[in-house]
Amino acid sequence: MTTVTMTVNGREVSGEAEPRMLLAHFLREGQRLTGTHLGCDTSQCGACVVHVDGRAVKSCTMLAVEAEGAEVRTIEGMANQDGSLSVIQQAFQDHHGLQCGFCTAGMVMSAAALLADNPKPDEREIREYLEGNICRCTGYHNIVKAIMAASGQDVSAMAAE
């Protein structure tokens, strides 16, 4: 066992980790941050996406020991300071960008990473960026719409499906 220290959502945390412990398990079981989900466990589905040093990564395909000293952000760190929903989260609610909600944490983290790089993505760019995030409920349409809306673009012409 080694002690791993990283900053999670602005707070320094330490925990014991075997080298084989995945970042997803460190966050979920060690830190009780269960908003990060494990869906496929084979790095396909993207439910486990978190930000490591500002970049989206699949936390089921990264060792916790590799995040030593890193700045990690999870879905629990996405709300505003006063606890209200962030613009992206609110847009998912307003545009019905989720049904069962299992993929949502990963979707929101991917959306945040996209908008940090590309503040006004078009529909094609959003769909391409979400290639690694799988949703089994929505058919993606309202997720794309929510991200368009969160980036301040007019979505009134996009059909509500």
Number of H helices, E strands in the chain: 5, 5
Tell me if 107 contacts other proteins by CB under 8 A: no
Contacts of 143 (CB under 8 A, 6+ apart): 92, 97, 98, 107, 130, 135
Chain residues 10-29 in contact with other proteins, contact rule CB under 8 A:
18-20, 22
Q: Do 51 and 114 contact (CB within 8 A), yes or no? A: no
Query: CA-CA distance, 35 to 8, in Å (whole number)?
Result: 13
Tell me, residue by residue from 62 to 101, as one string, x for binding to other proteins by CB under 8 A and - for no binding: xx-xx-x---------------------------------
Tell me if 39 contacts other proteins by CB under 8 A: no
How many residues touch other proteins under the rule CB under 8 A: the total is: 28
Among 15, 30, 46, 121, binds other proteins (CB under 8 A): 46
Tell me if 4 contacts other proteins by CB under 8 A: no
Tell me if 143 contacts other proteins by CB under 8 A: no
Query: CA-CA distance, 59 to 26, in Å (whole number)?
Result: 9
Cα(first)–Cα(last) distance of the chain, in Å? 50
Tell me the closest approach of the beta carbon of residue 11 to other proteins, in angstroms: 23
Tell me the closest approach of the beta carbon of residue 50 to other proteins, in angstroms: 9
Q: Is the dihedral of CA 135, 139, 143, 148 positive or negative?
A: positive
Write out the residues near other proteins by the rule CB under 8 A: 2, 18-20, 22, 41-44, 46, 49, 55-58, 61-63, 65-66, 68, 110, 113-114, 129, 131-133
